[in-house]
Amino acid sequence: MEPSLVTATPVAQPIRRTAPDAITVLVVGLIGAVAVLTLITAGVTFFALAVAFPIALPIAQQFHVAVSATDVAIAEQFASVWYVFAGLGVASFAAAVVVMVAVIKSVAPRD
Protein backbone atom coordinates (compact mmCIF):
# COMPACT_ATOMS: atom_id res chain seq x y z
CA MET A 1 0.00 0.00 0.00
CA GLU A 2 1.45 3.30 -1.08
CA PRO A 3 1.31 6.42 1.15
CA SER A 4 -1.14 9.09 0.08
CA LEU A 5 0.19 12.45 -1.07
CA VAL A 6 -3.02 14.26 -0.20
CA THR A 7 -3.14 16.07 3.13
CA ALA A 8 -6.39 16.49 4.94
CA THR A 9 -7.21 19.64 6.81
CA PRO A 10 -9.91 19.62 9.43
CA VAL A 11 -13.05 21.47 8.49
CA ALA A 12 -14.22 23.88 11.16
CA GLN A 13 -17.63 22.97 12.44
CA PRO A 14 -20.03 25.83 12.97
CA ILE A 15 -20.63 26.58 16.63
CA ARG A 16 -24.10 25.55 17.69
CA ARG A 17 -25.62 27.81 20.26
CA THR A 18 -28.25 26.35 22.49
CA ALA A 19 -30.80 28.70 23.92
CA PRO A 20 -32.79 27.95 27.05
CA ASP A 21 -36.42 27.11 26.44
CA ALA A 22 -39.02 29.86 26.57
CA ILE A 23 -40.52 28.90 29.93
CA THR A 24 -37.08 29.03 31.57
CA VAL A 25 -36.42 32.46 30.12
CA LEU A 26 -39.82 33.68 31.31
CA VAL A 27 -39.45 32.35 34.85
CA VAL A 28 -35.85 33.50 35.30
CA GLY A 29 -36.69 36.86 33.74
CA LEU A 30 -39.68 37.46 36.01
CA ILE A 31 -37.85 36.42 39.17
CA GLY A 32 -34.87 38.54 38.15
CA ALA A 33 -37.07 41.55 37.40
CA VAL A 34 -38.77 41.28 40.79
CA ALA A 35 -35.39 40.98 42.52
CA VAL A 36 -33.93 43.96 40.66
CA LEU A 37 -36.97 46.16 41.36
CA THR A 38 -36.92 45.15 45.03
CA LEU A 39 -33.23 45.98 45.35
CA ILE A 40 -33.70 49.33 43.62
CA THR A 41 -36.59 50.13 45.97
CA ALA A 42 -34.43 49.20 48.96
CA GLY A 43 -31.62 51.40 47.63
CA VAL A 44 -33.88 54.41 47.23
CA THR A 45 -35.31 53.83 50.71
CA PHE A 46 -31.88 53.63 52.33
CA PHE A 47 -30.75 56.81 50.57
CA ALA A 48 -33.94 58.53 51.72
CA LEU A 49 -33.23 57.50 55.31
CA ALA A 50 -29.66 58.76 55.00
CA VAL A 51 -31.04 62.16 54.02
CA ALA A 52 -34.16 62.25 56.20
CA PHE A 53 -32.76 61.55 59.65
CA PRO A 54 -30.24 64.41 59.70
CA ILE A 55 -32.83 66.96 58.55
CA ALA A 56 -35.86 65.67 60.48
CA LEU A 57 -35.34 67.58 63.71
CA PRO A 58 -34.47 70.97 62.17
CA ILE A 59 -37.53 70.78 59.95
CA ALA A 60 -39.77 69.78 62.87
CA GLN A 61 -38.44 72.72 64.89
CA GLN A 62 -38.89 75.13 61.99
CA PHE A 63 -42.56 74.21 61.59
CA HIS A 64 -43.18 73.97 65.34
CA VAL A 65 -44.19 70.32 65.22
CA ALA A 66 -44.50 68.58 68.56
CA VAL A 67 -42.06 65.67 68.70
CA SER A 68 -41.72 63.30 71.64
CA ALA A 69 -38.40 62.95 73.43
CA THR A 70 -38.17 59.32 72.33
CA ASP A 71 -38.54 60.31 68.68
CA VAL A 72 -35.90 63.01 69.09
CA ALA A 73 -33.48 60.50 70.61
CA ILE A 74 -34.10 57.97 67.83
CA ALA A 75 -33.68 60.62 65.11
CA GLU A 76 -30.43 61.86 66.69
CA GLN A 77 -29.01 58.33 66.96
CA PHE A 78 -29.86 57.46 63.35
CA ALA A 79 -28.69 60.85 62.09
CA SER A 80 -25.24 60.15 63.52
CA VAL A 81 -24.92 57.00 61.37
CA TRP A 82 -26.26 58.39 58.09
CA TYR A 83 -23.28 56.86 56.26
CA VAL A 84 -24.53 53.37 57.14
CA PHE A 85 -27.80 54.05 55.33
CA ALA A 86 -25.93 55.54 52.39
CA GLY A 87 -23.68 52.48 52.25
CA LEU A 88 -26.68 50.15 52.32
CA GLY A 89 -28.19 52.16 49.47
CA VAL A 90 -25.04 51.78 47.38
CA ALA A 91 -24.89 48.07 48.21
CA SER A 92 -28.52 47.62 47.16
CA PHE A 93 -27.92 49.30 43.80
CA ALA A 94 -24.76 47.22 43.26
CA ALA A 95 -26.68 44.04 44.07
CA ALA A 96 -29.36 45.04 41.57
CA VAL A 97 -26.70 45.36 38.86
CA VAL A 98 -25.19 41.99 39.81
CA VAL A 99 -28.60 40.29 39.66
CA MET A 100 -29.36 41.90 36.30
CA VAL A 101 -26.06 40.70 34.82
CA ALA A 102 -26.61 37.20 36.23
CA VAL A 103 -30.10 37.00 34.73
CA ILE A 104 -28.85 38.15 31.33
CA LYS A 105 -26.02 35.60 31.41
CA SER A 106 -28.36 32.80 32.44
CA VAL A 107 -30.87 33.36 29.64
CA ALA A 108 -28.33 34.12 26.90
CA PRO A 109 -27.65 31.39 24.33
CA ARG A 110 -24.71 29.16 25.23
CA ASP A 111 -22.10 27.43 23.13
Per residue in 3-24, pLDDT tens? 666 666 777 777 776 778 889 9
Total count of domains within the chain: 1
| Residues sharing a CB contact under 8 Å with residue 85, sequence separation 6 or more, in sequence order | 46, 47, 49, 50, 53, 78
In a domain, 7, yes or no: no
Q: Has residue 99 got a pLDDT over 90?
A: yes
Q: Has residue 1 got a pLDDT over 80?
A: no
In a domain, 15, yes or no: no
The Cα 96–Cα 17 span in angstroms is 28
Q: Check: pTM over 0.75? Answer yes or no.
A: yes
In a domain, 63, yes or no: yes
68 is in which domain, residue-wise? 22-107
pLDDT confidence of residue 96 = 98
In a domain, 9, yes or no: no
In a domain, 90, yes or no: yes
